[in-house]
Amino acid sequence: MSAPRPDGRRYAERIRRNWHFYLFISPFFVLFTAFALYPIVFSFLLSFTEWDGFVPIKWVGLDNLRLAAHDEAFWNSLWNTLVICVLYIPPMLVAAFLLAALLNASWLKFRSLYRTVFFLPVITPMVAIALVFGLLYDTERGLLNATLAAIEEAVPWLGLRPLPWLTSETWSKPSIAILLIWRWAGYGMVLMLAGLQGIPRTYYESARIDGAGAWSRVWHITLPLMRPVFVFCAITSLIGTIYAFDEIFMLTYGGPGRSSTNFGLYLFNTSFDDFRFGYASCLAYGVAAVVFVASLFILRFRRSDWN
Amino acid sequence: MARRGTSGFRVYRYVNRVLGHAVLMLVALLFLLPFYWMLSSAFKEPGHIFAAPPQWIPSPWHPSNFRDVLDLANVDFIRSFVNSLFISVSHCGLVLFLCSLAGFAFAKYRDAPGRQSLFVFVLGTMMIPGSVLIIPIYVMMVKLGGIDTYWAMIVPGAANAFGIYWMREYIGENVHDDLLEAARIDGCSELGIYWHVVLPVIRPALAALGVFTFIFAWNNLMGSLILLHTKEMYTLPLVIYLLNGDSSIPYGIVMAASLLATAPLILAFLFFQRDFVEGMTSGALKA
């Protein structure tokens, strides 16, 4: 629609005629201003200050950035986040794709039952399920190690043995990655299933006529067309892991030591254990900015790739 | 590679299907295992949760864990359950009302000046993650006396940019303009149109956004940790966290509490799952 230059009277007239529009969006905007806009601005300003919530706010300029550069615990939390991502996202994507491909098979029975089962972890309270994982992972008496010990006894040459899942710095990150895979594979599966169903059957049929085998059809048709879904899942999982809280807070509390503290947990501890509101706001904004720029970059890359 | 219709291909296809079913079944069992373990542990005697070899079926059957959950000294489980339910339902209702009303306005009042820029502005704030909002909201709640109140848990997250985006898309596609015009000609007020014409049409989207919001509110641990400090106000995630931290409480009781906190969610999900899964897919893929 070509908007004519708003000469005052007609513009006012249009506003008056559409007063319902402003009425209907106003409840949303009142809350939005109070609980989203104002906090966004407030915490942006806070990130240039030093404040514990009680004493007068002290303006420190860019000092918080300088602090962050030398904050070993902060960089450690980013490193842990990265390691957890590497351990969790690729296997999760592969599992989600395989499950989606199986569920998409025409011969499958009980499709919706399987879909429900795989999706169930997405909706369960993390608090409750993390505790169950804690029981399963228990080093001395957990089900997982009991099973591994039994396997070791039965088939020693497999090399499986009980592991200190939550009690060692080496295994705390894989333990969390396994929990994350379990939790999110079903979500990825649902997205990929929708993606698979969006690929026209004729593509496969003409490929078959041209003599393409099953693998070649997957490689040359399915995977390229599914790329946007993979990219979307990977980005959301990455962001999700940066800010993941419940899983880690309940399962390991970031330990042993700091070995499984991700950025989300570090931010929470900086805010509400140490009450360093200014510094925490600076970290939150800094990481958000990096994530934002990185996502834009990836999405842009993806678009140019399409055309 | 065997050709179509030859017996070799039939065998190949048969093996494929059996393999596919086997894989799916195995994975499904793995996915269900934690739920089963929660269920069976909730019925175990204190010493039996870590029994060696592991006990798959509780023996003896120990249902009194569930009674003990209700008799705990330092938490009031029923009160917390009611708190969680009240907070989640109210939050959900508020989100559905705000987002559908504003989504309707954004989708259908195309002539209103400023419509596009306001909407782009709302979308833009979606890029800013919740992590930067937590400290300001906590500070605000301390100042406004919102600590240990229901509204502090219900109101702040209700202006949900994602929800408004979702509703606008759905209303734009599914509510036809001639329907609105017909209602106007019949003398229906604009609010009446929202109530009698728009809401019935967008029921599936409301169900999906509703379940999504309800689940999110029900599982909200961080908000409870920050905003709720007295026993009377605790929500279920907080109660389970506290029970787990208290080493004098047997795991069977913690598992019984977890089960009671999980069951309503699973029921809600099973009831609305079609809308929910479809809504989640369409919302996510468009975003």
List the CATH number of the domain containing B166.
1.10.3720.10
Asked if B188 is an interface residue toward chain A (Cβ–Cβ < 8 A), one would say no
Nearest residue in A to B95, CA atom: A28
With respect to residue B107, please indicate whether it lies within any of the assigned structural domains. Answer: yes
Looking at the structure, tell me whether residues B55 and B94 fall in a common domain.
no
Instruction: Answer yes or no: do B28 and B114 share one domain.
Output: no
Residues 224-263 on B with a CB inside 8 Å of A are 225-226, 236-237, 240-241, 244, 251, 254-255, 258-259, 261-262
Please determine, for residue B71, whether its predicted confidence score (pLDDT) is greater than 90.
no
pLDDT at A267: 93
Dihedral (CA of A127, A133, A139, A142) sign = positive
Q: Are residues B199 and B95 in the same domain?
A: yes
Q: Say which DSSP state B2 is in.
A: P
CB of B189 within 8 Å of a chain A CB? The answer is no
Query: Is residue A143 domain-shared with residue A253, that is, in the same domain?
Result: yes
* Residue B1 is assigned to a structural domain of this protein: no
- Same domain for B150 and B107: yes
Query: Which tokens hold the place of A277?
Result: 């509101």
Q: Cβ contact (<8 Å) for B137 and A195?
A: no
Give every CB contact of residue B128 below 8 A, 6+ residues apart in sequence: A40, A288
Q: CATH number of the domain that A177 lies in?
A: 1.10.3720.10
Residues 6+ apart with CB under 8 A from A203: A221, A225
Number of H helices, E strands in chain B: 14, 0
Asked if B2 has any chain A CB less than 8 Å from its own CB, the reply is: no
Closest residue in chain A to residue B112, using alpha carbons only: A18
pLDDT tens by residue, A147-203:
888 888 888 888 788 888 888 898 999 999 999 999 999 999 988 988 888 888 888
Q: Say yes or no for a CB contact (<8 Å) between B17 and A107.
A: yes
In-domain check, residue B2: no
B72 in the same domain as B56: no
- Residue B20's pLDDT band (boundaries 50, 70, 90)? confident
Instruction: Find the domain containing A32 and state its range.
Output: 1-37
The confidence score (pLDDT) of residue B4 equals 52
Report whether A279 contacts A50 (CB < 8 A): yes
φ, ψ of residue B196 in degrees (nearest 5): -95, -25
CA distance B193 to chain A (A): 11
- Both B53 and B157 in one domain: the answer is no
Span A87-118, pLDDT tens digits: 999 999 999 999 998 888 878 788 888 888 99
Q: What is the CB neighbour count within 10 angstroms for residue A192?
A: 25
In a domain, residue B194? The reply is yes
Q: Do residue B37 and residue B135 come from a single domain? A: no
Query: Distance between CA A168 and CA A170 in Å, rounded?
Result: 5
- Answer whether B145 touches A (CB < 8 Å): no
Tokens of B70: 């209700």
Assess whether B103 and B182 both reside in one domain. yes
Asked if residue A80 lies in contact with residue A261, where contact means CB atoms within 8 angstroms, the answer is yes
Q: Do B102 and A24 touch (CB under 8 A)?
A: yes
| Amino acid A123: pLDDT | 87
The closest alpha carbon to B172, from B118, B98, B106, belongs to: B106
Give how many domains chain B has, as a whole number. 2
Across all residues in chain A, what is the average pLDDT? 87
Domain limit, last residue, from B42, B64, B86: B64
A215 chain-B contacts, CB cut-off 8 A: none
The band of B222, judged by pLDDT with boundaries at 50, 70 and 90, is very high
Cβ contacts of residue B130 below 8 Å, gap of 6+? A243
Residue A48: φ, ψ to 5°: -105, 15
CA angle B25, B30, B32 (to 5 degrees): 95
Percent of chain B whose pLDDT exceeds 90: 35
Co-location of B93 and B226 in the same domain:
yes
Angle at A251 between CA A164 and CA B240, to 5 degrees: 135
Range of the domain at B131: 67-286
CA distances to A49, A53, A84, A278 from A283, in Å: 12, 17, 20, 9
Residue of B nearest to A40 (CA): B133
Do A35 and B132 lie within an 8 Å CB cutoff? no
Best residue in A30, A120, A191 for a mutation probing chain B (most B CBs within 10 Å) = A120
Q: Which of B99, B110, B254 sits opposite A131 (nearest CB)?
A: B254
Number of domains into which chain A is organized: 2
pLDDT single digits (tens) A61-80: 888 898 888 999 999 999 99
**Count of CB pairs separated by less than 8 Å, A with B:** 258
Query: Is A117's Cβ below 8 Å from some Cβ in B?
Result: yes
Same domain, B146 and B265: yes
Q: Comparing A254-258, A283-287, B60-64, B189-193, which segment has the lowest mean pLDDT? A: B60-64
**Is the ipTM reported for this complex over the cut 0.95?**
no
Q: Indicate whether B161 pLDDT > 90.
A: no
Confidence at residue B286, expressed as pLDDT on a 0 to 100 scale: 47
- Per CB-CB distance under 8 Å, the chain B contacts of A275 are none
Verify that B203 and B275 share a domain, yes or no: yes
Nearest residue in chain B measured CA to CA from A6? B113
Does the beta carbon of B158 lie under 8 angstroms from any beta carbon of chain A? yes
Domain boundary among the residues B43, B64, B85 is at B64
How confident is the model at residue A177, as a pLDDT?
A: 95
**CA of A193 vs chain B CAs: smallest distance (Å):** 9
Assigned domain for A61 exists: no
Mutate to test the interface with B, among A94, A98, A143, A251 (most CBs of B within 10 A): A143
The two three-digit tokens of residue A25, written as one number: 């969006």
Residue B161 · residue B99 · CB < 8 Å: no
Q: At which of B17, B39, B64 does a domain end?
A: B64
